[in-house]
Structure 1
């Protein structure tokens, strides 16, 4: 009995365990068999004989299936997982010093440690959940993700339930929605938009501005900053020509310089003083420059091994100022080690990105490394006095549910891409499904 293409593909698939790999292998083999069949038809054979010869050229289906099963077995990036576990474990260290800042040590350490444990467990669940999601199925949902993000920002900008530290939030039962919650949806949306060659640059400009309008309306400077860096980095890696990218960057720089000049002229005296205090804190030591100088003094006293008995006040020692707290408590050797460990995420994502050939997956990795890096670099730079103070968490280390879930989500996306990085058919790997 003649061995036709469908029976051959079924026999190969029977040797493969992973459902995702079955679909991938079937599409890949079908492509190659069809290509070889066309070659035989061009040589003068009829369609049935051409298919039979093409199938025979592929080899024994059982042997091939077993080999492909080993080759395309779902992969787990254990390096990233181990790094995530270590980092989440280190995130409990700020709890040790809270007794130095609160009178009721048992309450402070116990309360925050218990909630931190909940945040860490939820973060691990989010990272694992995203790893199991096939990132390729998210590509076609880009506009849906963009719409969800717009709904969140619209509600926050015009219908907030409450205000915390001047920023709007929406409270639904025990759920608290804030502006940072829109960024994961925008992240997934922009990976799809940049991967869609049909979207023009002027259309992208409009899509960038709309979220910025809502964020300025709140206003949420830190979220605008994170969002802007993400889009800018992804744009620099997009399919547009270097000339288009360079000219766009020049336009953006010129635009922000003009806006900055207008803002400076229209700013109130205290706003100008804040910026001047950042540039020259000594002249504003009694007002806006006090905190900059105070943080600088605490860091200078930390030494290589820290001072666990220090009772000097540090604002939000478990949140935005956690780096200062840990440096003061454990010393500069620990602080440098911590920054090194957190930086390994960046290195790892870049290494993975170089091995990924799926264009949408590559954009996801570029966006993830941008979102993670901007938090890490900005928080450290602020504490060292290189950037003005804004609300910015240190990834995984700072206390808080949303920052933990946000960064766990990013790592989960990275794990998802790595898990399926080899499931890209060689014959049509650069072609999105909509082109077919």
Structure 2
């Protein structure tokens, strides 16, 4: 074994992170080789030049300790703490429910925390070359709903396999992994993107379960496009194409709900129809106290899923509303700030897509409950009732933590 290998082995012995060992070794070999070539140009023989280059690096033990500190795996405790707090707040709407219901929510919370921690310890980089695989999985999920749906809920078809109900929104995390991978491939052309995007849009159209599902999917793709290697003209063309495609495929759904939009814009004119929901929401906010519930009764449209933020505010006052907004804001801002520290391009795209998916749910749901947006079916991450939304958002936060955990590793 030559001196270079002995030196590198001593350096690597000081590094605790298995993920960082290979990248550090390659980096060190590169530096030694550059220094060696420099000494050769100055007239030294190859062997002597290498010895000089190694000597310049200093003590291998001290260097290894410094690199270990620099490349250590980290945990974003703020993101993790905010996530756990939001999951626990999800218990509040159920405190007056029976023990079985509370136990079910507790199990969902524990499952959510488990998924976050489990995904955090997985190395996201191993998914980089699996873009086409994840795209196929997402497509197969949508096709299974289209071709084999066997249950109808509120007029919408789903596929039920044992206790599991498969719906379109379950495909979105796979498409997130797919687009992050495909956008980093050098041979992935703009035409390929348009074809892949068009095909996925058709599948979402045929397996359509909610316009909110399509809304967050399109938002994710658009945001990731801005960080792709495509030109500005291509990005603008993509957004226009996506908008036209959305209108063509889902325009019928928009016009079918046009009266609901008019009810949101002009609630007084539609007070006896769809406008009463928005008028009643205004009265609820006007009647809230800082602490404690209002004197008004909750109506059926205020529930533990889509309008849970309004329910909690009504039950516990403005204080809980402020706490929830602060927690979500802190979580999203911290995730956004982490983007600049990610060196891995695939990891950066994956992080941006995850932030977009998570943030649009939070912003729209809270805005919807506060009267800024029309009411649609869209859950509030970790607080709304439901197993599947909790699992999907736990996967997103787990990915965020996995990426940030390896931010010091290229």
**TM-score, structure 1 normalization:** 0.87
The answer for the alignment partner of 2:144 in structure 1 is 155
Change (3 A) 1:49 1:168: farther
The answer for the alignment partner of 2:212 in structure 1 is 222
Equivalent residues of 1:310, 1:329 under 8 A apart: no
Q: Deviations over 1:13-45 (max 9, x none)?
A: 122222112222112212212222333334444
Q: Deviations over 1:371-399 (max 9, x none)?
A: 01110111112223332222100111101
Gap runs ≥5 in structure 2: none
The answer for the alignment partner of 1:28 in structure 2 is 27
Task: Give the CA deviation at 1:7.
Answer: 2.1
User: Take 2:64 and 2:254, find their aligned partners in 1: how far apart are those partners?
Assistant: 68
Question: Of the candidates 164, 168, 185, which is equivalent to residue 175 of structure 1?
Answer: 164
Task: Give the CA deviation at 1:370.
Answer: 0.4
The answer for the alignment partner of 1:333 in structure 2 is 319
Change (3 A) 1:267 1:123: closer
Task: Give the CA deviation at 1:282.
Answer: 1.9
Q: Secondary structure at the match of 1:317?
A: coil
Task: Give the CA deviation at 1:347.
Answer: 0.2
User: Take 1:84 and 1:279, find their aligned partners in 2: how far apart are those partners?
Assistant: 34
Task: Give the CA deviation at 1:252.
Answer: 4.5
The answer for the alignment partner of 1:62 in structure 2 is 61
User: Take 1:60 and 1:126, find their aligned partners in 2: how far apart are those partners?
Assistant: 42
Task: Give the CA deviation at 1:239.
Answer: 2.0
Equivalent residues of 1:88, 1:120 under 8 A apart: yes
Question: Of the candidates 360, 371, 375, which is equivalent to residue 357 of structure 2?
Answer: 371
User: Take 1:114 and 1:45, find their aligned partners in 2: how far apart are those partners?
Assistant: 74
Question: Of the candidates 228, 231, 250, which is equivalent to residue 241 of structure 1?
Answer: 231
Q: Deviations over 1:83-105 (max 9, x none)?
A: 12222221111113xx4xxxxxx
Question: Of the candidates 364, 378, 382, which is equivalent to residue 396 of structure 1?
Answer: 382
User: Take 1:402 and 1:219, find their aligned partners in 2: how far apart are those partners?
Assistant: 17
Question: Of the candidates 286, 289, 294, which is equivalent to residue 303 of structure 1?
Answer: 289
Task: Give the CA deviation at 1:111.
Answer: 2.7
User: Take 2:330 and 2:73, find their aligned partners in 1: how far apart are those partners?
Assistant: 23
User: Take 2:271 and 2:169, find their aligned partners in 1: how far apart are those partners?
Assistant: 33
Please give the residue correspondences for 1:29-48 in structure 2 after superposition, counting only pairs within 5 Å. Answer: 29-48=28-47
Q: Secondary structure at the match of 1:176?
A: strand
Q: Secondary structure at the match of 1:284?
A: coil
Q: Secondary structure at the match of 1:422?
A: coil
Equivalent residues of 1:12, 1:61 under 8 A apart: yes
The answer for the alignment partner of 1:193 in structure 2 is 182
The answer for the alignment partner of 2:338 in structure 1 is 352
Change (3 A) 1:44 1:171: farther
Change (3 A) 1:310 1:279: closer
User: Take 1:188 and 1:160, find their aligned partners in 2: how far apart are those partners?
Assistant: 25
Q: Secondary structure at the match of 2:53?
A: helix
Q: Deviations over 1:206-253 (max 9, x none)?
A: 111222111111323111111000000111122223343334435545
Q: Secondary structure at the match of 2:306?
A: coil
Q: Deviations over 1:44-94 (max 9, x none)?
A: 444433333322222221221122222222111111122122222211111
Q: Secondary structure at the match of 1:287?
A: coil
Aligned-CA RMSD value: 2.4
Q: Secondary structure at the match of 1:155?
A: helix
Question: Of the candidates 184, 207, 218, which is equivalent to residue 196 of structure 2?
Answer: 207
The answer for the alignment partner of 2:112 in structure 1 is 123
Change (3 A) 1:20 1:257: closer
The answer for the alignment partner of 2:267 in structure 1 is 281
**TM-score, structure 2 normalization:** 0.92
User: Take 1:139 and 1:377, find their aligned partners in 2: how far apart are those partners?
Assistant: 29
User: Take 2:343 and 2:233, find their aligned partners in 1: how far apart are those partners?
Assistant: 24
Change (3 A) 1:169 1:31: farther
The answer for the alignment partner of 1:428 in structure 2 is none
Task: Give the CA deviation at 1:169.
Answer: 2.6
